[in-house]
Chain A
Amino acid sequence: MNTLEIKNLNVSIDGQAILKDFNLTIPKGEVHALMGPNGTGKSTLAKVMAGHEDYTVESGEILLDGVNILGEDPDEIAKAGLFLAFQYPLEIPGVSIANFIRAARQARLPEGEDINAVEYYKELYAKMDALKMDRKFTARSLNEGFSGGEKKRCEILQMSMLNPTCCVMDETDSGLDIDALRIVSEGVNLMRGPERSFLVITHYQRLLDYIVPDVVHVMFDGKIVHSGDAELAKELESKGYDWVQEEFVNAPA
């Protein structure tokens, strides 16, 4: 069974097509990287998957474990098992990390059922320790005044606390120094398993040294133009995106 199937997805904003017959399948347990130059539609794909309402979906399907999530509200998509790690996590003043994640966990419980606070904090602290986050962060306002690395760690913390089946990571490596990149990658690698799939969106190959993908896709002008194994990322890094354009876009099919 595939975790994620995107079929013939066409998306536009203000009349301008951004995703063009986009297709992607990620089997359970696999990590796929999606690479491509800026402005090619990678972040749009991530937001559409998570249910952002600013985009116009012309046609297509996004199946999560066989169920179409396209057109659902963001909270329903999240509860169905998709997690989007944001490129630019928002700052939410006055809402602590602990209360925020707790509300997200609570939303996944049946009506009338409450989470066990003791077990919740035990799990939260253990996962923060793994991400080398100070426990004092639980009381701080979500992402407010955080450094770039702290924000991304906080995204991974949320991802691991919410136990998604499909993780979409949008440029998680942007703004990270090497230490933070390593810590974040370790957090992701700990979550890899036979029941979970990952879509790692990145502009640079660097992240894929730490999170080694099963498949690398190259995206150009709204669709995937080439796919390969982890070596493809290295080839891209050395040859650049112009190579992609000459080799796979301009060349006759």
Chain B
Amino acid sequence: MNTILENPTTSTTDEPAWLADRRAAGLEQFKNLPMPSARDEMWRFASVGRLSIDGYDATDAPAADTVAALVGRSNLVTEREGLSVYVNDAQANFEGISDELAAKGVVYLPIADAVAQHPELMEQYFLKESTELGSEKFFGLHAASIKAGSVLFVPKGVEIEKPFVNYYWTSGEKAAVFPHTLVIAEDNAKASVVDIFFSETEENEALNVSVSNIHAGAGANVFRKIVQDWNEKTVSFQLDTTVADRDAQVKNVAVNIGAERARFENQTRIEGPGADVKMYSLTVAEKNQEFDQRTFQTHNAGNAVSDLLYKNALLDNARTIFSGLIKVAEGAQQTDAYQTNRNLLLDPTAEANALPGLEILANDVRCSHGATTGNVDADELFYMMARGISKRVAMQLMVFGFFEEVIEKVESDELAENLRQLIRNKFESKIK
């Protein structure tokens, strides 16, 4: 079978040498590293036997009317500074920045244009952050294959309130996509992005290997929101890295609803004192879905905060795996690092696995990690029903209440309401 596994292709012929080198290195990494195995600590509890990337390939964009329809459906966030829409990694729509922002030196471009127009910037940042959490092979595939994505560069002191919104769609038969979001916020800059992953239909099978990197300079403020609502025929890898410099504030909020099998590798590296990085995630898992979450909070500088909260609600035969590690480097004193995983089991057949971990080489730190897994509380249910609320509605209120802690962190009424609706669509009929 001629698949992307054997023969990843890159569309580019006139790329600079540094990029060609990185792609070649990625290809080597992809070819030389073995497929994950169940014996691998990084893949513990994951059903690697079900992990197949055979048969997927980069494909062309679908017909123009399909593309137009998907552009029309790219409407979760109307108040925005910029927009990019990709379908099967082909650019379908792009709304660039205003002249005013351009005059300030802000860059918001598709990856290929950024490489052509800002080669030094891209050489410094693009494809520089691999993963250390087990999917190095797939990072290699991404590096070899990436053509879709957007770059946001915000120079020193420039603050942008409205978000940049990137949609990544899949369509057709067994499409492989490699979305890439790169955010570079220089010192005291402020920016936000929303990455949205959608499938055209409930049925189109797809493989996603996406990468995002956030580089937050001193005092920068970056907010990234991620909506992963692939259909349940998708195999997805999201390999995300945040690097925070002195006093930077970075917040990541992810809502994960989709994919048959979704692997998340979320790395945070604190490189300067005073940084504050938040990682919030909400997952709704149903049927045979598996969400495999690996996180790594590294504190290389002291006096900084990282706070992680991953909440999962599980139904049917769904599985989740949360494996998190906090690492505090020697000398990174006065570190505050927190890691919390909460799982709500709504069916006895669902399975939540939690592997929280700490590795602390400094002696004056505050670190906590904890994982809880529980069912709907019978006393809470009785209390709500004693007010006349039916069991079904009470369950819904409780489950949405469980989610609300994360949803309200998106800090946008419109997006929060759209997220509630997405979850409701998937979920409401399931609570009997």
Contacts and interface: CB of A to CB of B under 8 A. Distances in A.
Interface in A54-87: 73-75, 77-79, 83-84, 86
B403 interface: yes
Contacts of A94: 398, 400-405
B389 A92 contact: no
Contact of A90 (B383, B388, B403, B404): B383
A162 interface: yes
B401 A95 contact: yes
A108 B13 CA distance: 68
B383 A162 contact: no
A107 B390 contact: yes
B380 A73 contact: no
Contacts of B383: 86, 89-90, 92
A90 B377 CA distance: 10
A13 to B, nearest CB: 15
Interface string A3-37: 00000000000000000000000000000000000
B397 interface: yes
Interface stretch (A97-105, A187-195, A220-228): A97-105
Contact of B386 (A51, A103, A108): A51
A162 to B, nearest CB: 7
Given A74-B382, A90-B380, A95-B397, A107 B391 contact: no
Contacts of A93: 401-402, 404-405
Interface string B374-386: 0001011011111
Contacts of A73: 385, 391
A53 to B, nearest CB: 8
A50 interface: yes
B379 A90 contact: yes
B388 A50 contact: no
A79 B388 contact: yes
Contacts of B379: 90
A100 B382 CA distance: 14
Interface string B68-79: 000000000000
A75 B403 contact: no
Contacts of B404: 93-95
Contacts of A138: none
- Most chain-A Cβ atoms within 10 A of its Cβ — which of B383, B387, B389, B401? B387
A104 B387 contact: yes
B385 A74 contact: yes
Contact of A103 (B380, B382, B391, B397): B397
A158 interface: yes
A141 B408 CA distance: 12
B387 A99 contact: no
Given A51-B386, A99-B397, A107-B393, 18 more contacts: A50-B382, A53-B382, A74-B382, A75-B386, A75-B387, A75-B388, A78-B385, A78-B387, A92-B401, A94-B401, A94-B402, A94-B405, A100-B384, A103-B397, A107-B388, A108-B388, A141-B401, A158-B387
Question: Which 6 pairs show the lowest CB-CB distances between chains A and B?
Answer: A94-B401, A94-B404, A78-B388, A74-B385, A104-B387, A90-B383
28 contacts: A50-B386, A51-B386, A74-B382, A75-B388, A75-B391, A75-B394, A77-B386, A78-B385, A78-B388, A86-B386, A89-B383, A90-B380, A90-B383, A91-B380, A92-B384, A92-B397, A93-B402, A93-B405, A94-B402, A94-B404, A95-B397, A100-B397, A103-B389, A104-B387, A107-B387, A107-B390, A158-B387, A162-B387
Interface of A: 50-53, 73-75, 77-79, 83-84, 86, 89-95, 99-101, 103-104, 107-108, 141, 158, 162
